[in-house]
Copies of this chain bind each other. A is one copy, B any other.
Amino acid sequence: MTHSLTDDELKEIYTFALGLSRRAGKILLDGIEKRTGEQGGWEADEQVEKMNAVDIVTQTDLDVEAFVKDEIVKRYPSHKFIGEETYSAGSSKEYLITDEPTWCVDPLDGTVNYTHLFPMFCVSIAFILNGNPVVGAIYQPILDTTYSALTGSGAWQNDNHPMKPRQALPFINSPKAPLPAKAPKGCIFSCEWGKDRRDTEGGNMWKKVNSFVNMAAEIGGRGGKGGMVHGVRCLGSATLDLAYVASGAFDIWWEGGCWEWDVAAGICILREAGGLITTANPPANWDTDPIPNVKLGSRLYLAIRPAGDSQGETGRQAQERVVRETWRRVEGLDYSRPRA
């Protein structure tokens, strides 16, 4: 059954989601202050210092999700809610997103960064209608920066910020910057090592490493697969990887293993900015098979930044070219949904 909401209803949901991401981020910052305290302006709270950093994070994670869920349920009692923590605690590991109006939330993406006080962590809030993320709001508390979008109304950095100017995504926008003619050469390639570290030939870690090396090696290297990317970046947050692809800072993001709450908001923002997202795993014929729409619950993602037209090639054609040039160099990853 298809559900529909009016433009005004969607606009209200967008504004609510954006504000909620900032309020949730404030709780994450409070969690950090408990750990750093004050000394030269900061001093440690002895009681808290005795706690384990991982406990604090787990508790903050739960607290933020409870807060976000509570706010959503109060405001939109008829909507469904899927969050990382509630999903993990639930009995089903199925893909739970239906056509119904559904909120999909990661209260803390980049947990390892949060534990270590590295600023690349965020709150991620998406609103999904008929299976498509139509609202996305991402907030980086330490940098006090949002990335957000409402489908059809543009993608923005720092929309509704009281002090900072709102900037359209991608940053280079009129016209958008074309993709490099010899991509992946000239591109920033974003990727993650992830949690699967089994040292097994054919395991995910090795497939990732082989793919990274193909993308990075000199042209002509790796039996012709060398892509000589401009840079390889690993941030430790799938959500922020997508935000930086939407902004144009990263050209290519390739990843397997993350979940719908990690990517739902980012996918909405990326698409609204003009980016392309499909599957990480190359099809049988990487150069001719159709480029499928990404499946939100697939755990396999390849994102290409928004791209402008250039002589003889539209932005979309260039994005598809870069998808194929990436597929040519990467190995298919083995991630599926765990059995119930």
Q: Which positions in A face B, CB cutoff 8 Å?
A: 35-37, 39-44, 49, 53, 112-113, 115-119, 143, 154, 156, 165-168, 171-175, 177, 188, 193, 197-199, 205, 209, 212-213, 216-218, 220-222, 226, 228, 230-236, 244, 247-251
The answer to whether B209 touches A213, judged by C-beta atoms less than 8 angstroms apart, is: yes
The answer to whether A205 touches B199, judged by C-beta atoms less than 8 angstroms apart, is: no
Q: Which of B118, B167, B197, B231 contacts A226 (CB 8 A)?
A: B197
Q: Give 6 nearest A-B pairs by CB, closest first.
A: A199-B221, A118-B249, A40-B168, A44-B174, A199-B217, A234-B234
Given known A-B contacts A41-B167, A171-B117, A218 and B198 have beta carbons under 8 A apart: yes
The answer to whether B173 touches A197, judged by C-beta atoms less than 8 angstroms apart, is: no
- A119, A193, A222, A230: residue with the most chain B Cβ atoms closer than 10 Å: A193
Main secondary structure of the interface of A (DSSP, over half): loop
The answer to whether B232 touches A233, judged by C-beta atoms less than 8 angstroms apart, is: no
Q: Chain B residues with Cβ under 8 A from A116's Cβ?
A: 188, 230-231, 248-251
User: Whose C-beta in chain B lies nearest to the C-beta of A154?
Assistant: B40
A152 smallest CB distance to B (angstroms): 14
The answer to whether A244 touches B118, judged by C-beta atoms less than 8 angstroms apart, is: yes
